[in-house]
Structures are given as structure tokens and as C-alpha cells.
Amino acid sequence: MGALVAAFSASCARIWTILVRALDMGLVNRQPERQLQITAPRAALSRSSILLDMCERVFVMTMLGSFIYRMLLHYSLTANIADVLLVISESLTVVFIMLRKPSATLSRRPTDWILALSGSATPLLVAPSSVHPIALPAIIFAIMVVGLFIQISAKIVLGRSFGMVAANRGVKVAGPYRFVRHPMYLGYEIGHVGFLLAMPTLTNAALYTLGLSIQIMRIFREEDVLKRDPAYRAFAGRVHYRLLPGVF
């Protein structure tokens, strides 16, 4: 079984590489004069970069639509504020994804896409539950609001440079980026802790644990891309911790 999975993964990676190259060749083979006129304002963007950017947006909207429906349906039955806070937290991703600008440095590596999409999708698979919370509602509310505040502040600093798949959309050093290099992920994880305290099922715990593991791998892959930029290397030299001050 392991050999079959490895062979399937290798085949998918090969197909992905061929598809990306074919898309780029489709742009290169056009008439040179027309190509220069079309791409002059955005010379660094290829056809495949734009298409992959659109795929990322469609994926996010599809996953989030199902997630919002499940959460709001549960809220209509229980009036649990944790549902609403989590919906707000996750929905902001779509807003910033739709507003962001495409990046010519968007990674085409299958591994980066698998980590980005699975890392974003896994937390959206959690399910609302009627089990008794393991913390006081006020504590749960405070934890989720803190997480929401951190990730919103990080997204405001990122602005239109926000994205899911590894790319250099500009180095940001203000606000929460003065304390950790990936404050948005920190905000997500704090919010997830709050939701898990409110709805502590084994399924939710497993999904959030898996999601955190993927996010850590995702951070390393993103930094492989970003550290090609001297500005990011200087930033990493000043801000030593990636996710949690004093720990990681």
C-alpha cells in the first residue's frame, strides 16, 4: 500500500509539473509583439501564475461555503457564540484572498500546494457539537477574541499581499510581525484552542492537531521561498521566533 501511495504521489507531481510548463509555453508561443503589449504592465506574471491563483481562490471559497453553512446551522439551533466567532475568523480568509494581488513568485511545487490547501482545509472540517465545554464560556470567548484580534491585525498589515500558497508577496515587518514571523498562523491556532474548549470532541482535536502539524511544515516551506529575498533574511535575523515567542 505504501508503494502504491508513493507511486501515485510521484505521478501527480509529474502531471502537475507538465501542466505548469504547458501553460507557460502557451503564453510564450504567442506573437512576440502582442505578448509585449499584454504583459508590459505585469511583465512578471505568466499565464500559469494567473490560472493557479484562480484555482486557489475557487478552492478556498468552496471549502469555506460548506463550513459556514454547517456552523451557522448549528448556531441557529444552539446560539453558541463560538460558532459565530469561528465563522468570522475563517471568513476573513476569503475576503483577503479575493482582494489580494497575484504573485509571479507563486510556488509551483506540488508539495507547497498540498501543504497550503490541506493546511487551510483541515480546520474547516471541524464539526459543531453539543458536548459540554471544558472551560467557562467567558474564558472561551476571551481566547477566541484574542486569536481573532491577532490574525486580523496580521491580515491588515499584509493587506493585498495575503495568500495561501508559498510566494513572496512582499516582506512585512510592522504590527504583530515585530514579535513572530507568522502571527496570522498564531492567531488561527489560538482561535482553534478556544473552539476546541467549547466543543471538545476527539474528531475536532484530531483535526486541529493534524492542522497544526501541517502548518508547521507549511511555515518551513514558505520560508524556503521567502528567504531568497535579502529583506526577509534580514527580517528573520531580527525576529527570531516563527510562531510562538520563546518556543518556536
Confidence of residue 38 (pLDDT cuts 50, 70, 90): very low
Q: Does domain 44-238 have CATH number 1.20.120.1630?
A: yes
Q: What percent of the chain has pLDDT above 90?
A: 56
Closest CA relative to residue 227, chosen from 113, 105, 132? 105
Average pLDDT value for the chain: 83
pLDDT at 150 over 90: yes
pLDDT for residue 43 = 42
Confidence of residue 41 (pLDDT cuts 50, 70, 90): very low
Contact 113, 60 (CB under 8 A): no
pLDDT at 145 over 90: yes
Contact 220, 233 (CB under 8 A): no
- Range with top average pLDDT, 55-59, 143-147, 154-158, 167-171: 143-147
- Average the pLDDT over 234-239 and give the result: 96
Confidence of residue 17 (pLDDT cuts 50, 70, 90): low
Residue 144 Cα to chain centre, angstroms: 18
pLDDT for residue 27 = 40
Residue 34 Cα to chain centre, angstroms: 35
pLDDT at 133 over 80: yes
**Grid cell digits, residue 146:** 484574542
Helix axes 110-121, 202-226, angle to 10 degrees: 140
User: First vs last Cα of the chain: how many Å apart?
Assistant: 35
Confidence of residue 44 (pLDDT cuts 50, 70, 90): low
- Average the pLDDT over 241-245 and give the result: 96
**Grid cell digits, residue 16:** 502537475
Distance between CA atoms of residues 113 and 65, nearest Å:
20
Confidence of residue 26 (pLDDT cuts 50, 70, 90): very low
pLDDT for residue 96 = 81
Confidence of residue 93 (pLDDT cuts 50, 70, 90): confident
pTM score: 0.78
- Which string of b and e fits 3-12 if b means at least 16 CB within 10 Å? eeeeeeeeee
Domains of the chain, residue spans: 44-238
- Range from 13-22, 36-45, 57-66, 142-151 carrying the lowest mean pLDDT: 36-45
pLDDT for residue 160 = 78
